[in-house]
Amino acid sequence: MRFFIVDDDAAVRAMLSELIEDEDLGEIVGESDDGSFIDTCVLERKKVDILLIDLLMPTRDGIETIRSFGRDFHVKIIMISQVEAKELIGEAYSLGIEYYITKPINRLEVLSVLQKVTEHVRLEKSIYDFQKSLNMLSSPKKRENPNKDQRISHSGKLLLSELGIVGESGSKDLLEMLEYLYQHEVKNESEDSFPSLKTIFENIIKKRLGPRAKTEEIQREIKASEQRVRRAIHQALVHIASLGVTDYLNPTFEHYASKFFDFVQVQKKMTDLQNDREVGASQVRIHTKKFIQMLFWEAKQSIGKN
C-alpha cells in the first residue's frame, strides 16, 4: 500500500510515517507540509493509494485541496485535524473522505482506521482485477454463473468491510449465503422467491459438511452458524451506531443505518454507546433476514454497476 502524508506539523508526519512503517502497512511515497504542493498529477505519478491530510494548513487547507481533485479522482482520503466543527466535518465527508480523525492523535485509533481503509483498498483492487480478467475471457457465457458467484462474494466482502465485520467469524457464513442466494435466484428465475432463513442455513451447512454429514452434526452446525451470524450482525450495528455517534452526517452511517437495521435499534445503540453501556447481542432485537436480504441486494447492485 502506498501512502502520502500532508500536514504542516513535522512531528505529526513523523508519527504517522513511523506508525505505517512499524505496523508494516505499506510505504510512504511522499510528504508535504501544505496542500498547495500536491495535485492529482503528483498523486497519480506516485501511484498513491491512501492520502492522509490535515484540515488546517497555511496556504491551502485540506478541504480546498480535496475539492481541487474533482469527483473522478479515487484515492482513499483520511483527514486528521484538531477541528471538531460538525459543518466542516460534514463538508469533508461530502467531498469523499473515508474517515475524519481528531487531534491529538490516538495511536490505536489511527492504526484501526488505517487497517480498515487498507483492507478496503485491497478488496476494491481484488474486485477490479477479477473483473478485468473476466473481460479477457473469450467465451464468457460458458462461465457466467460461477464468475457471477465469485463477483457476488467479492462485493460481499467489500460490504462487510464497510460494515466493520469483515474479520468476524460470521462473515464466512454470510458470504456463503450470498453465493447460495444467487444460485437460488438463477434457478428460480425470480427475485421474489427469497427463501426462508431455515432453508438458507440448512443449504449452506449441508454444502459445507458434505453429503455424508449426519443429521445431528448438521443441526449442531446450523445453531453455531446462527449464533455467529447474529453476533456479526450485532457488531455491524455497533459499528454503524459508533459512526453515527461520531458524525451523524457520515456517508456510511447515512447509507446503511436504516437499510440494514431497524433505525430505532440504531438510535438505542447510539444512546448506549454515548452512555458507555455494554449491551450484548442477546439483548438487542436483530432482524437477521432483513440484514441478509439487504446484503444480497446491495451485493447484486454493486456488481451490476460494473
pLDDT top residue among 145 and 248: 248
In this prediction, residues 133-155 reach a mean pLDDT of: 60
pLDDT digits (tens, 9 = 90+) for 242-288: 988 888 788 888 888 888 988 888 888 888 888 877 766 556 777 89
Instruction: Give the SS3 label for residue 51.
Output: strand
pLDDT digits (tens, 9 = 90+) for 201-243: 999 999 999 989 999 999 999 999 999 999 999 999 999 989 8
Q: Work out the pLDDT band at 40, boundaries 50, 70, 90.
A: confident
How is residue 142 written as a grid cell? 460458458
CA distance 47 to 43: 6
How is residue 187 written as a grid cell? 434457478
Q: Is the peptide bond before 140 cis (omega within 30 degrees of 0)?
A: no
pLDDT value for 162 = 87
Q: Whole-angstrom distance between the N-terminal and C-terminal Cα of the chain?
A: 24
CA distance 266 to 272: 10
- Look up the pTM and report it: 0.56
pLDDT value for 275 = 85
Q: Which domains are present in the chain?
A: 2-106 (3.40.50.2300), 137-304 (no CATH)
pLDDT digits (tens, 9 = 90+) for 45-90: 889 999 999 998 988 999 999 988 887 778 899 999 888 888 888 8
In this prediction, residues 91-117 reach a mean pLDDT of: 89
pLDDT value for 52 = 95
pLDDT value for 93 = 86
pLDDT value for 138 = 44
Task: Answer yes or no: is pLDDT of 144 > 50.
Answer: no
Task: Answer yes or no: is pLDDT of 147 > 80.
Answer: no
Q: What is the mean pLDDT of the chain?
A: 85
Locate all alpha helices (DSSP H) within the chain, ordered by sequence. 10-22, 40-45, 62-69, 86-94, 107-135, 144-162, 170-188, 197-209, 215-246, 251-260, 263-274, 288-304
Task: Answer yes or no: is pLDDT of 5 > 90.
Answer: yes
